[in-house]
């Protein structure tokens, strides 16, 4: 009834875009951050200064640690900033400064509008817990704890691997499998016994690279084929689809 193959003992859920609608908020915050930066950075060509797009988000930012997203997107525009320091303010032309600007925007948005969970994801979490599966939340966000609590998922998640844990434990960000592998270890299961649930291309790449037992792509932004091409065993538009009797036939 869960749409998973035999032998899966644990579920590793990305948060933004899989459990909650906060991926939409992150995308908007990144757009504001980069558009403001590009419009004020001197010496750029029109191509380099072009507005940040959804395609940019999907290719360079989605699912990655915040500073990796800054570096990777700017590298795609042939812009190389100094790293800076954690004391840099949101207007500093450094990786730290741009990352701080984005974080300030997302925190303000979350405080003002809160977190909206996907109803189908809540249903799936309840079903997974009832079936005795172990559950972990795995997110690149340093604000993972706040989002999980605000979304009402705390009671389901035995383990949380977020951006703060990744920094503490020196985990490489997605598309490296490190955060998901850390989640599996914390639950006491082998990667082959765990299913990864991801909406980001970098996330399904991480699931495939870690040799996990099953990788579920969650198609929230019309990139089903890309999710399949980068490692998803199955792609659904909503986790509730996996509760259907014929979910295992999907591809």
Which residues participate in catalysis according to the annotation? 14, 16
**Going by C-beta distance under 8 Å and a sequence separation of 6 or more, which residues neighbour residue 195?**
4, 8, 10, 11, 12, 212, 213, 214, 215, 216
Number of CB atoms found within 10 A of residue 211's CB: 11
Query: How many other β-carbons are positioned within 10 Å of the β-carbon of residue 59?
Result: 15
**Is the separation of the CB atoms in 62 and 200 below 8 Å?**
yes
In whole angstroms, give the CA distance from residue 86 to residue 216. 35
* Tokens 């507005």 -> residue: 51
User: Which residues lie closer than 8 Å to 40 by C-beta, 6 or more apart?
Assistant: none
| CA 134 to each of CA 12, 116, 129, 145, 210: distance values in angstroms, whole numbers, following the listed order | 8, 23, 7, 18, 18
């Amino acid at each position: 009834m869960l749409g998973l193959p035999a032998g899966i003992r644990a579920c590793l859920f990305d948060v933004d875009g899989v459990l909650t609608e906060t991926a939409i908020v992150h995308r908007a915050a990144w757009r504001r951050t980069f558009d403001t930066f590009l419009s004020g950075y001197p010496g750029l060509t029109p191509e380099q200064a072009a507005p940040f797009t959804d395609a940019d988000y999907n290719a360079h930012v989605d699912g990655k640690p915040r500073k990796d997203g800054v570096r990777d997107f700017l590298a795609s525009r042939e812009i190389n900033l100094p790293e800076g320091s954690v004391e840099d303010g949101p207007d500093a032309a450094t990786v730290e400064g741009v990352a701080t600007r984005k974080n300030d925007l997302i925190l303000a948005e979350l405080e003002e509008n809160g977190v909206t969970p996907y109803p189908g994801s809540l249903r799936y979490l309840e079903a997974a817990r009832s079936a005795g599966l172990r559950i972990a939340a795995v997110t690149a966000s340093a604000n993972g704890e706040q989002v999980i609590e605000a979304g009402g998922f705390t009671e389901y998640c035995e383990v949380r691997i977020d951006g703060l844990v990744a920094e503490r434990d020196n985990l490489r960000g997605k598309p490296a499998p490190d955060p998901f592998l850390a989640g599996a270890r914390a639950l006491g299961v082998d990667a082959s016994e765990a299913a990864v649930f991801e909406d980001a291309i970098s996330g399904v790449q991480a699931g495939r690279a870690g040799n996990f037992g099953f990788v579920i792509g969650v198609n929230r932004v019309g990139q089903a084929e890309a999710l399949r091409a980068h490692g998803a065993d199955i792609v659904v538009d909503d986790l509730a689809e996996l509760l259907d009797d014929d979910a295992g036939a999907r591809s």
